[in-house]
Amino acid sequence: MKAPVVRVRNVSTRFGEYLVHDDISFDIYEGEIFGLLGPSGYGKSTMMREMILLQEPDSGSIEVLGKEVWKLGEKEAVELRKQWGVVFQESALFSSLSVEENIALLLREYTNMSPSLIRRVVATKLEMVGLSQSDGRKYPSELSGGMKKKAALARALAMDPKLLFLDEPTSSLDPVSAAEFDSLILSLRELLGLTIVIVTHDLASIRKTLDTMVLFADKKVIARGTLQDVLKTRHPIIESFFLQ
Amino acid sequence: MRQTENIYIGFKEKTLFCLGAWLTPNLGLVEKEFAKLVLPSYEDLAMDLSALDACDVNGAILLHALIERLRKKKITVILYNLPSEAEHLLNITRLSEEASLSAIRAKESLFATIGAGAYRVYLGLTEYLSFSGQLAFSLFYALRYPSSFRIKEMLRSIQEHSIKALPIVLLTSMLIGLVIAYQSALQIQKYGADIFVVDMLVISVTRELAPLIAAIVIAGRSGSAYTAQLGVMKITEEIDAMRTMGFDPFRFIVLPNVLALMIGLPMIIFLADIMGIAGGMLAARVELGITVLEFVGRMEEIFNINHLFVGLIKGPFFALIIASIGSMRGMAVENSTDSIGINTKASVVSAIFMVIICDAIFSIIFLELGI
């Protein structure tokens, strides 16, 4: 079996007195679309924030792309951050920059590509996520919710990462845009061989996109594996979660 | 001859070799190496990719761009030993590039830039006219239905934007009076006309300095606050929520703010007059030895009450400018965070500028009227 891309071992997290994760472990393998599932408030977004170096767990270790993320020095952390892309729940596009500039930002900052090559790269990324070139010239405030998500995805893909993190990508979209976004994710995985980690509670996209998943509840992972595996597990939260 | 110092691209016997890892961080180097290559103008050129260890999407985009550049020079490129990974990526980029390249942005001409700028100024003016219209409408509405006017809002606004601004305005005004008296004392002494420092100080402070200083400080302090407050309310959709409940934001926020400042600013100016003169008095005492009694005596002789009114009458006009520009800019905020910053800056800058223009117009009017 291949080495896991993300390896979470014995992670515990507490917010003040409140314990969010109690000794959680799981692996994410290359090429998977992996879901972090669970009702709101059970720490699935927190788990993702711990993987992408935004929030430190109280104990346990998290390895991403073979590096133990919370033991890295500042320089190594920057190197690691360039190897993944993140799409936030509210897209988090920089509102003072146009979509094109949002995508070009990382390339300008971290590579010494010529401006004409950067323009080509930006144009290609826009095309990949299904935005037109004229959309690229717009500012985030001029875009609809679905287009913002696509633009954020294009920005996350700018440096050609092998690993992509999506935080509730479809939660603020209408069902049609959400389905479109799910298809986009599937086709990008096909095209680029990405490993994708998704935090979600959207049942339609769970069914459509996820290969494997873990379900958080009661501070623990209560079910893991494919959708069939998860549905076979007997637990009141699983029944209510999938019957919502 | 193969250029061995290059790591990513080499040239030998009609063949271009692509080597190493064409990954995003290295692509700038690849471009530089390609630019250094001296390529003869063959009719056709082979491109050998067998030594290409790794290539990502951005690498494939570059490869594609290079091939295109060679083709433009009428060189036919034939690809050899394409790794399957690279072939797959080339296919992705080829599909999207053809659609996108035609759309690369053309540079704007100078005339277009000037024209766009002029149009923006025109839009700004019409926006201000439409804003004034709405403001006037809500004023007449309030006059017609006085009970609809939010008197509590207005009092709160006076407290917040006039009374709380007093310390900074008064301190500034006193310092300006002090500095003016001190500076002119040095000059006036040379002519032995010491006592005339009173004339100069009292008239300049009441007619010009106190109103201008008060207006400029208030524009910076309260005008920007109006913009930021309304702007944030606009972004968080509070303004829209008010509208859906039938609360006209002009009636509930803008008009009370404007009227509050129109009442507050003349009072601030009056107090600033006193502090400015007090500051001057202090400097005159220290520098020229003019006692307070002498100072007040001289003031009584020369001071015409018109000087005071000339300064105070400017107050409501300056207040109207500051509060309406501040509110208009706040309402102009759009759904992005830096829109607040841009509009706040524009609100302060244009309010101060318009206040100074208005002051100049007043000077001309008063001169013609002989006041």
* Owner of token pair 């934001």: B249
- Helix B196-204 and helix B255-288, axial crossing angle in degrees, nearest 10: 170
Nearest to A198 by CA among A179, A188, A211: A211
User: Which residue has better confidence, B7 or A101?
Assistant: A101
Q: Report residue B132's pLDDT band, with 50, 70 and 90 as the boundaries.
A: very high
If you write DSSP's letter for every residue of B185-211 in order, what string do you get?
A: HHHHHTTT-TTHHHHHHHHHIIIIIHH
**Measured between CB atoms, does B336 come within 8 Å of chain A?**
yes
Nearest to B248 by CA among B144, B128, B156, B141: B141
Are B181 and B201 in contact by the 8 Å Cβ rule? The answer is yes
Burial label, A194 (beta-carbon count in 10 A; 0-12, 13-18, 19+): buried
pLDDT at A221 over 70: yes
CB contact under 8 A, B336 and A116: no
Q: Which residues on adjacent β-strands are paired with residue B15?
A: B12, B46
pLDDT in tens, A64-92: 998 888 888 888 888 888 889 999 888 88
pLDDT in tens, B311-328: 999 999 999 999 999 999
pLDDT in tens, A163-175: 999 998 888 888 8
Average pLDDT over residues B287-294: 90
**Which of B56, B336, B345 is most worth mutating to test chain A (most A CB atoms within 10 A of its CB)?**
B336
What is the pLDDT at residue B349?
A: 94
What is the pLDDT at residue B3?
A: 45
Task: Identify all chain A residues contacting B107, using CB atoms and an 8 Å cutoff.
Answer: none
Three-state DSSP at B259 gives helix
What is the pLDDT at residue A223?
A: 87
pLDDT at B95 over 70: no
In chain A, where are the structural domains located? 91-160
**Number of CB pairs < 8 Å for A and B?**
81
Three-state DSSP at A36 gives strand
What is the pLDDT at residue A236?
A: 83
What is the pLDDT at residue A244?
A: 59
CA distance A237 to A241: 6
What is the pLDDT at residue B319?
A: 96
What is the pLDDT at residue B22?
A: 86
pLDDT in tens, B141-196: 889 888 888 888 899 999 999 999 999 999 999 999 999 999 988 888 888 888 89
In our burial notation (b when 16+ CB lie closer than 10 A, e otherwise), range B271-296 reads bbbbbbbbbbbbbbeebbebeeebbe
Amino acid in the structure at residue A22: D
Report chain B's mean pLDDT, rounded to a whole number. Answer: 86
pLDDT in tens, B182-191: 998 888 888 8
**Cα radius of gyration rounded to whole Å, chain B:** 35
Tokens at A53, concatenated:
């170096």
Average pLDDT over residues B34-40: 79
What is the pLDDT at residue A177?
A: 86
pLDDT at A61 over 80: yes
DSSP state of A56: -
Q: Report residue B107's pLDDT band, with 50, 70 and 90 as the boundaries.
A: low
Q: Report residue A241's pLDDT band, with 50, 70 and 90 as the boundaries.
A: confident
What is the pLDDT at residue B103?
A: 47
Amino acid in the structure at residue B274: I
Coarse DSSP helix, strand, coil percentages of chain B, rounded to the nearest 5 percent: 75, 5, 20
Average pLDDT over residues B255-270: 95
What is the pLDDT at residue A196?
A: 93
pLDDT at B40 over 80: no
User: Which residue has better confidence, A109 or B231?
Assistant: B231
Are A184 and A153 in contact by the 8 Å Cβ rule? The answer is yes
Residues near B370 by beta carbon (within 8 Å), at least 6 away in sequence: none
Binding-site residues on chain A for chain B (CB distance < 8 A): 82, 95-96, 107, 110-114, 116-117, 119-121, 123-124, 126-128, 132-134, 137, 139-141, 157, 159-160, 191-192
Our CA-based measurement puts residue A157 at a distance from the nearest CA of chain B, in whole angstroms, of 10
CA-nearest residue of chain B to A82?
Answer: B25
In our burial notation (b when 16+ CB lie closer than 10 A, e otherwise), range B236-265 reads eeebeebeeeeebbbbbbbbbbbbbbbbbb
**Measured between CB atoms, does B325 come within 8 Å of chain A?**
no
What is the pLDDT at residue B120?
A: 87
- Helix A145-156 and helix A175-192, axial crossing angle in degrees, nearest 10: 20
Sign of the C-alpha dihedral, residues A233, A237, A240, A241?
A: negative
Residues near A25 by beta carbon (within 8 Å), at least 6 away in sequence: A8, A9, A10, A11, A60, A221
**CATH architecture observed for domain B9-101:** 2-Layer Sandwich (3.30)
> Which of A40-49, A50-59, A227-236, B240-249 is least confident?
B240-249
Start-end ranges of CATH 3.30.750.24 in chain B? 9-101
pLDDT at B268 over 70: yes
What is the pLDDT at residue A105?
A: 87
CB contact under 8 A, B27 and A159: no
* Owner of token pair 């691209």: B9
**Which of A117, A142, A147 is most worth mutating to test chain B (most B CB atoms within 10 A of its CB)?**
A117
pLDDT in tens, A34-43: 999 988 878 8
- Interface predicted TM-score (ipTM) of this complex, two decimals: 0.78
**Measured between CB atoms, does B23 come within 8 Å of chain A?**
yes
